Amino acid sequence: MQMDRHSHLWRNAVAMPTVSRVAVCGGTHGNELAGVYLVRERLKRRADGTEPVSVVTVMSNPRAVQLCVRYVETDLNRCFTRATLSAPVSETSPYEMIRSQELNALLGPKGSAQAVDLLCDLHNTTANTGLCLITYSDCDWICLHICKHLQREMASTPVRYVHFDIPLNEAYSLDSVGKHGFAMEIGPQPHSVVRSVIFSAMQEGVQLMMDWICQFNSGTLFEGGWVDVYTMVKNIDYPRDSETHVITAAVHPNLQDRDFCLLHPGDPMFLSFSGETLRYKGKEALYPFFINEGAYYEKGIALSLARKRRVEIPSVRSETLR
């Protein structure tokens, strides 16, 4: 009976190419330190060539890391759209634009057969998000299975799958360069600080991802199931003074740190500096995340809102082995 069931699963599993080349990138934002120190640690222990999967470890924005700032001239993680990657560069182009094209040559080119199979980009946030895998696809079975694996194996860290519904050409972040890719985002951690438990969670997340890939490449069949996917719907800005554009309220204490807790119409969202409560005026209950991310004040984002839905994922196996 077991053999029949196994053969049945095997025949019905989706066969996918092996994930032979992986990139682990940190310091894409120079002040998100767990990724910076994880990349440094990985570079110290260079591979002895016996791993079943080839991994390249990259410090994405070395100048920003050196200065411990998010970016030097422009946000590197917004430089990976097709337009920016194909624009002509000169010595006077912003540093990050030049760097994005270097990374695209190293790990891509984006959209081509030479691109790495999987790109994992390490990030931190000041928001209380736990661990999130952030991608542009809600049907990338590799990414969804990796998420499921992390959820199963990481006992003390909530793991969630966040989806931005943007076509590949307009996808602007580094992870879109790989054939499969995601940002591994962990919070809360202040920028320019490394917290030991956050570093450990990121190290564990990367290790579990590598374990899954090795098992997958060796022919393991991963049974399907379902994953909750949070799809980004819209951003909400802070209330601002109409003339000076300065913010006039902070995220409300009832909402602060409550990433992925359902926000209902009428729930408090902001507390003004003079003490008034401002409420969520949307008609649809949605899931907030990236609540009070420090780097997003200048982008006009206090929080993002997502819809949650259950996505069925098929069983998968590597196509090169029978």
Binding residues: 29, 32, 123
Q: How far is the CB of 23 from other proteins (least distance, A)?
A: 20
Is 91 a catalytic site residue? no
Residue selected from 25, 251, 305, 316 as contacting other proteins according to rule CB under 8 A: 251
Distance CA 208, CA 282 (A): 38
Residues 6+ apart with CB under 8 A from 244: none
Binding range to other proteins, per CB under 8 A, among 130-138, 226-234, 295-303, 305-313: 295-303
Residue selected from 29, 110, 180, 252 as contacting other proteins according to rule CB under 8 A: 252
Residue type at position 83? A
Chain-centre distance of CA 266, in angstroms? Answer: 30
Residues 6+ apart with CB under 8 A from 272: 239, 248, 249, 278
Coil, strand or helix at 101:
helix
Residues 257 to 286: which contact other proteins by CB under 8 A? 271, 273-274
Which residue, 240 or 309, has its beta carbon nearer to other proteins?
240
300 is a contact residue toward other proteins (CB under 8 A): no
Residues 117 to 136: which contact other proteins by CB under 8 A? 126
Which residue, 282 or 294, has its beta carbon nearer to other proteins?
294
Q: Cite the annotated binding site for Zn(2+) by residue number.
A: 29, 32, 123
Omega before residue 109 within 30° of 0, cis: yes
Residue selected from 20, 157, 215, 256 as contacting other proteins according to rule CB under 8 A: 256
Q: How many residues bind other proteins (CB under 8 A)?
A: 31
Which residue, 118 or 127, has its beta carbon nearer to other proteins?
127
Site string for other proteins, 26-65 (x = CB under 8 A): -----------xx-xx------------------------
Alpha helices in the chain (DSSP H): 2-12, 33-44, 62-67, 82-86, 95-107, 141-153, 196-217
Binding range to other proteins, per CB under 8 A, among 131-139, 141-149, 187-195, 307-315: 187-195
Q: How far is the CB of 246 from other proteins (least distance, A)?
A: 7
Q: Which residues does residue 287 pair with via DSSP β-bridges, in sequence order? A: 306
Residue type at position 29? H
Is residue 59 within 8 Å of residue 96, measured between CB atoms? no
Return phi, psi of residue 40, to 5°.
-60, -45
Q: How far is the CB of 145 from other proteins (least distance, A)?
A: 28
Which residue, 85 or 202, has its beta carbon nearer to other proteins?
202
Of 41, 73, 170, 185, the active-site residue reads 185
Is residue 216 within 8 Å of residue 316, measured between CB atoms? yes
Residues 193 to 212: which contact other proteins by CB under 8 A? 193-197, 199
Beta strands 21-26 and 54-59 are: parallel
Place of tokens 């470890």: 57
DSSP string, 205-270: HHHHHHHHHHHHHTT--B--EEEEEEEEEEEEPPPB-TTT--B-EEE-TTTTT-TTSPBPTT-EEE
Residues forming the site for other proteins (CB under 8 A): 37-38, 40-41, 68, 126, 188, 190-197, 199, 246-247, 250-253, 256, 271, 273-274, 292, 294-295, 297-298
Active site residues: 185
